[in-house]
Structure 1
């Protein structure tokens, strides 16, 4: 099975090179169909990997990002985790967004930026695949999960929790004053963008969001429409990540505080409303991965993938993280978790082959 998986990576690399050679911004969707057809033909392989490979291994997937730039070594801590690492190829998820948005007005600027991001992602994937990193794979996991898993979850009821009852969601343009239609006690639990201040008034947060994302924000959306647009995007993404994690039995790896916070808010809601004990596992794992990246990133060290893997093996890094996982419920504060993770990361960074 591993041989077939490796072969799929070589085939995908060649396809991406051909697509990139013909690609123009105006006809992005046409060429992405070739990529979609390729992965449709690989669905059986991905299902088998789900059942017999990833399901029985300690596997992590880096998700909810458009690129994985290995020149920026802060993400290399991913390679200290588990037996296999996967980059969740976002291209086909972008295609789904474009197709669903064909009937939606106001987002032409967003689509233009999305097409540019797709081209950048293809360039990044080519570089990534050419490196042929052992036990590391580029797979469209979220897209494959939605294709294989026919169970669909309606995200709208969750989104509606952030608004008062009786709102006409088909006519949000009528609600010019967002303060009168949102449930304010929930707003401090989520982030709208990195460096967002959840203690500020929602109007001020949205004003700053418009500045941060001036190149994609639909100019004629009022605050109420924009808020729903933002959280619908984040929580649709969170749902896709959860279903992917659940289906493949793998753990998401985050390097964005916004994605991490909003994913955990979503997951807490699912766990609270479900009786499945297995969901507790996914909630606990989701709490662990971002602190691992954060503590490694703030050290400012530059370790290669091979150095990371060698040190992780020598100090049994995954086993140490597993021990933290096993006592996670005993921690009274987030600071306790951070301290334990920081100790593990410190040991990894300061390990030398002659010592320890």
Structure 2
């Protein structure tokens, strides 16, 4: 009964949020984007207690997935299909709330304009989600309402960043002793470059310095244009580490499974999860995260271009896709401790094919 009441409140909240987004989209062309984002944040803080209640009591532990570490959930690129394939509830971790703070902390005009365009893109995408996946995917700014201590996350991310180096450094020593990417490479623990990823397009077959130079040349940072390599390296890698800690703690707090499209974010989450020790709850969470990421990039969107999303979702639920998938993985003895990408993909595709075949039969 409580779950039904919360679900009704959640549905109403989504309707109200769509109105807020429509107004924001109109105002962003005549107002400062920070002011528009602030108005959106006011809406969420007015509904903070309801959002926290939904996250704490709507779903059973780890039966919901949260699409996070992304700027949009691209409906037009059919990303909602693989996302709803796992789990009972599906949340989009709305990132709009962050943009005003990011924009306020940069003097880089190009980066500020990029943030404005990102706000517009995310607002439009959110409206698209509410129109095309209503009552299936729910939009909530989950990380805005976690009880994570920002200073603790900063300390943990800074410590993780400094642990990449051979010497026992503090941040002041790093800032004073490192300027170029060559300096950084000399200071890093031997072989650790292979777990440092700079971007989605990072080619790990290239040498470390070339990879960094490519990253610097193709990315706009919230820093001045004359920033040193060391400042850029810190901004990128520390940012990924802080994000990973934040996501892990958020998911443990609300007992959610992270759905991560971005391979860089996944890599840092997997790497950092080992810092928490042998916590089975976290190991299960990370394994589900890996499976979700694999499913996302395995999913053949060509097979659903003429499909009906609601029919697909219904068939996924009817097939009990997640339980079937993880049962097959267990039979093949695939786990976080014994991964096999080829077998994962094969099992995912086998189960997806059964669902997609059923969808085709319904359409016919």
Query: Structures share a fold, TM > 0.5?
Result: yes
What secondary structure is seen at the aligned counterpart in 1 of 2:139? strand
Secondary structure of 2:258's partner? strand
Partners of 1:121 and 1:248 in 2: how far apart?
24
C-alpha deviation, 1:275, in angstroms = 4.8
Q: Of residues 16, 20, 27 in structure 2, which corresponds to 1:15?
A: 20
In 1: Cα distance, 2:164 partner to 2:317 partner: 45
Q: Which residue of 1 aligns with 2:38?
A: 33
Tell me how far 1:336 sits from its aligned partner: 2.8
1:316 matches 2:329: no
Name the residue aligned to 2:249.
243
Report deviation, 1:300: 5.7
Q: Is 1:221 aligned to residue 227 of structure 2? A: yes
CA displacement 1:51-71 (0-9 Å, x = unmatched) = 211345721111121122212
Contact 2:34–2:99 under 8 Å retained in 1: no
Q: How do 1:135-150 and structure 2 match up within 5 A?
A: 135-145=136-146, 148-150=147-149
- Mean Cα deviation higher: 324-333 or 57-66: 324-333
Identify which range, 30-39 or 336-345, moves more after superposition. Answer: 336-345
SS in 2 for 1:162: coil
Displacement of 1:288: 1.1
Aligned to 1:344: 351
What is the alpha-carbon distance in structure 2 between the residues aligned to residue 230 and residue 310 of structure 1?
Answer: 40
Question: Where in structure 2 are the equivalents of 1:224-303 lying within 5 Å?
Answer: 224-270=230-276, 274-297=277-300, 301-302=304-305, 303=307
C-alpha distance in structure 2 between counterparts of 1:199 and 1:298, whole Å: 29
Q: Distance in 2 between the 1:164 and 1:67 partners?
A: 38
**3-state secondary structure, aligned to 1:80:** coil
Structure 2 unaligned blocks of 5 or more: 1-5
Per the alignment, in what secondary structure is the counterpart of residue 61 of structure 1? Answer: strand
Name the CA distance, whole Å, in 2 between partners of 1:299 and 1:310: 19
The runs of 5 or more residues in structure 1 that have no matched partner are none
CA contact (8 A) 2:197 2:264 kept: yes
Q: Distance in 1 between matches of 2:48 and 2:171?
A: 36
SS in 2 for 1:137: strand
Counterpart CA distance in 2 for 1:173 and 1:299 is 51
Structure 1 residue 26: Cα displacement: 6.9
Q: Is contact 1:173-1:224 (8 Å) kept?
A: no
Q: Closer, same or farther in 2 for the Cα pair 1:265/1:130, shift >3 Å? A: same
Q: 1:2/1:48 Cα in 2 relative to 1: closer, same or farther (>3 Å)?
A: same
Q: If the length of structure 2 is used for normalisation, what is the TM-score? A: 0.84
Task: Choose 158-167 or 19-28, whichever is displaced more.
Answer: 19-28
8 Å CA contact retained: 1:284, 1:325: no
CA–CA distance in structure 2, aligned partners of residues 331 and 299 of structure 1: 31
1:165 aligns with 167
The number of equivalent residue pairs is 346
Q: CA deviation at 1:115?
A: 2.4
- Report the Cα offset of residue 211 of structure 1: 3.3
With the length of structure 1 as denominator, give the TM-score of the two structures.
0.86
Which residue in the other structure is 2:3 paired with?
Answer: none
Whole-angstrom distance in 1 between the partners of 2:255 and 2:69: 17
